[in-house]
Amino acid sequence: MLRYILQRLILIPILLIIFSIMVFALVQAPPGDFLTSYIATLASTGSSLNQETIAMLEHQFGLDQPVHIQYLRWMQNLLRGDLGLSLEYQLPNAELIADRLGLTLILALFAFVFTWVMAIPIGIYSATHRNTILDYLVTVVNYTGVAIPNFMLALILMWFAYSQFGLSVTGLFSRDFEQAPWSIAKGIDLLKHIWLPMIVIGLAGTARLTRVMRANLLDELNKPYMVSGRARGLSEWQLVMKYPVRLAINPLVSTIGWYLPELFSGSLIVATVMNLQNIGPLLLRSLINQDMYLAGAILMIYCFLAIIGTLISDILLAWLDPRIRMEKA
């Protein structure tokens, strides 16, 4: 097992190099660069830059260099732990990301907990009460939940809350607290606002997880060990919770690690629609403005977390399932 983990760790740098090339190629891919879109923005407001300023800026950002030189310079900085400077904000990318990281994590954790706390019990109920009215109801809600795009749901809920109750449900803070420094009052204010974004972000995941839990459990409920357990005198509840639920959750727990990058990225479209100040809108904006070093930095962190998350998944699975743990490496 230890050998297996070590092998995986050695692979990480190689994977990161491959990803960095892909990320850089992608953020470079749109025609033009930050300056062209910046000039276009300025032009639309009536002002313009003279050729000298443009040339100077190009040189400053290294945009006059060939692509591979730009990549190498970017990599060089990354290896020294420097995520570079945002072209748009003129601030270090690390600072911009760190600013929003706290809120991103809090929101993602709430959504994550919501997903699991809802999905597992509902999935268990649905499977053990198969083809009852409640099971059908859950199934219908689930399909709807999976089918509706998150941002659509966000829009509907926002419209509903506003038209029916006159409430504005966007953002994570009241207006008074939006710019205020962190305090207990601000934390309480956050707790008041976080529920709707949590539900919107978590709902699709909940629906999917419920379906998977139900299907996994239904598979397990027909296994011969159930007959064996009943014949030993276990009550149905004891039996279901100890064996099939455990076996049905196994593959799900192993997906927890994959959630790591999602924790970081924040739901891009929902966050934009609902005006949530997490990393999602930052990434979207950097992509639109071709702020390539900021976009690159966010995407690289995303890739790194995806790799780490997968590793964590594998370790979790091995820890949970003796069949994998004891396999000879």
Answer whether 125's CB lies under 8 Å from 134's CB: yes
Among residues 75 and 247, whose Cβ is nearest to another protein? 247
Among residues 80 and 232, whose Cβ is nearest to another protein? 232
Nearest-approach distance from CB 232 to another protein, in angstroms: 4
Nearest-approach distance from CB 242 to another protein, in angstroms: 8
Over the Cα atoms of the chain, what is R_g?
24
Among residues 158 and 245, whose Cβ is nearest to another protein? 245
Among residues 99 and 321, whose Cβ is nearest to another protein? 321
Q: In this structure, what token pair is assigned to residue 2?
A: 């230890």
Nearest-approach distance from CB 268 to another protein, in angstroms: 38
Among residues 76 and 235, whose Cβ is nearest to another protein? 235
> Alpha-carbon distance 297 to 74, whole Å?
10
Nearest-approach distance from CB 223 to another protein, in angstroms: 6
Answer whether 263's CB lies under 8 Å from 205's CB: no
> Alpha-carbon distance 185 to 235, whole Å?
49
Interface contacts to another protein, rule CB under 8 A: 223-225, 227-228, 230-236, 242-243, 246-247, 250, 320-323, 326
Answer whether 97's CB lies under 8 Å from 297's CB: yes
Q: Which residues contact 181 (CB under 8 A, 6 or more apart)?
A: none
If DSSP codes are grouped into helix, strand and coil, which group holds residue 143?
A: helix
Q: Which residues contact 257 (CB under 8 A, 6 or more apart)?
A: 308, 309, 310, 311, 312, 313, 314, 315, 316
Nearest-approach distance from CB 235 to another protein, in angstroms: 6
Nearest-approach distance from CB 231 to another protein, in angstroms: 4
Among residues 180 and 227, whose Cβ is nearest to another protein? 227
Backbone angles phi, psi at 306, to 5 degrees: -60, -40
